[in-house]
């Protein structure tokens, strides 16, 4: 896989999972950072429908949507390690939980960060913890006693959920709540440590301070655009 460019931002979990997929396959690529608050001409040309990152450009072919990109990378780079499970049932289960993660986590984390009242905050915490408990059960079943959702190595569902770990940790710190803990999600706690230490991951997931700066910039931009 040659002549690969990735349009994105370091703080985006959707971009991060594509970076991890590329790293796991040892694909050399050029990372084109999108400037905060603007959309480059190449982004608008490459993704005219949604105008969003990430976009993978392979040669002159743009591919959009993070999980679709991850699957594309796995299909084009057919050498080991595989990202998607080889068994059709296991593959379907991984896709199901990846869709669940993207449906649940972004909205729940935003709700938790922006909750104003105690009841809103408690409801958001309950929803997030409930989601993590479900993922704990999914890990036990998918990993089959091994270290990752994908078995011995990181796979599709590892990348889908693991790309949110930076944001989960940032929310834990800013809201002062544990979303992953040894009591309710012991397997996920161990998995998160292994995942973030993996060679394909450790230089990708942004730190808490970096993400807090991103949140602050989003707040400042929203305030500047709101009517007085």
Render pLDDT for 56-88 as a digit per residue (tens, 0 to 9). 999 999 999 999 999 999 999 987 789 999 999
Residue 137: CATH number of its domain: 1.20.1050.10
Q: Has residue 81 been placed in a domain?
A: no
Question: Which of 24, 55, 76 is at the close of a domain?
Answer: 76
Q: Has residue 226 been placed in a domain?
A: no
- Return the axis-axis angle of helices 66-76 and 13-24, rounded to nearest 10°: 10
What was the pLDDT predicted at 50? 94
Instruction: Say yes or no: 100 and 72 in one domain.
Output: no
Instruction: Say yes or no: 154 and 193 in one domain.
Output: yes
* Structural domain range at position 101: 88-209
What are φ and ψ of residue 126, in 5° steps? Answer: -60, -40
Sign of the CA dihedral with 182 first, then 103, 85, and 199 last: negative
* Per-run averaged pLDDT (10 residues), the chain, 228 residues: 92 96 95 90 95 96 97 90 93 97 92 85 89 96 94 95 95 89 94 96 92 84 69
Residue 32 CB: number of other CB atoms within 10 A?
Answer: 15
Instruction: Say yes or no: 45 and 157 in one domain.
Output: no
Instruction: Say yes or no: 193 and 95 in one domain.
Output: yes
Residue position matching structure tokens 């929203």: 222
Distances (CA, A) of 157 to 34, 104, 139, 162, 221: 26, 14, 9, 8, 33
Q: Has residue 220 been placed in a domain?
A: no
- pTM exceeding 0.75: yes
What was the pLDDT predicted at 132? 94
**3-class DSSP state of 63:** strand
In the sheet where 4-8 sits, what is the strand order? Answer: 30-33, 4-8, 55-58, 61-64
**3-class DSSP state of 194:** helix
What are φ and ψ of residue 30, in 5° steps? Answer: -100, 125
Residue 32: CATH number of its domain: 3.40.30.10
Residue 39 CB: number of other CB atoms within 10 A?
Answer: 14
Structural domains counted in the chain: 2
Instruction: Say yes or no: 111 and 25 in one domain.
Output: no
Instruction: Say yes or no: 30 and 94 in one domain.
Output: no
Q: Has residue 52 been placed in a domain?
A: yes
What was the pLDDT predicted at 16? 97
Q: Has residue 66 been placed in a domain?
A: yes
Sign of the CA dihedral with 83 first, then 89, 93, and 96 last: positive
Q: What is the pLDDT of residues 121-130, one digit of tens each?
A: 888 888 999 9
Q: Looking at residue 148, what DSSP letter applies?
A: B
What was the pLDDT predicted at 228? 57
Instruction: Say yes or no: 112 and 160 in one domain.
Output: yes
Reading the block at residue 84, the tokens are 């998607």
């Amino acid at each position: 896989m040659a002549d690969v460019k990735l349009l994105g931002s370091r703080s985006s979990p959707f971009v991060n999972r594509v970076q991890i997929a590329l790293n796991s396959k040892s694909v050399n690529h050029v990372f084109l950072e999108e400037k905060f608050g603007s959309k480059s001409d190449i982004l608008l040309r490459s993704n005219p429908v949604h105008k969003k990152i990430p976009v993978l450009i392979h040669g002159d072919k743009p591919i959009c949507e993070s999980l679709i990109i991850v699957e594309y990378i796995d299909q084009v780079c057919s050498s080991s390690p595989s990202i998607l499970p080889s068994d059709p049932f296991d593959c379907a289960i991984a896709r199901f939980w990846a869709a669940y993660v993207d449906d649940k986590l972004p909205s729940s984390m935003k709700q938790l960060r922006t909750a104003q009242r105690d009841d809103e905050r408690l409801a958001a915490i309950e929803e997030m913890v409930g989601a993590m408990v479900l993922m704990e059960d999914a890990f036990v079943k998918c990993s089959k006693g091994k270290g990752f959702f994908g078995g011995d190595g990181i796979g599709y569902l590892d990348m889908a959920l693991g790309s949110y770990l930076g944001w989960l940790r940032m929310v834990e710190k800013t809201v002062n709540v544990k979303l992953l803990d040894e009591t309710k999600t012991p397997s996920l706690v161990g998995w998160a440590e292994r995942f973030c230490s993996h060679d394909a991951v450790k230089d990708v997931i942004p730190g808490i301070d970096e993400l807090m700066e991103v949140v602050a910039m989003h707040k400042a931009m929203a305030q500047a655009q709101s009517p007085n």
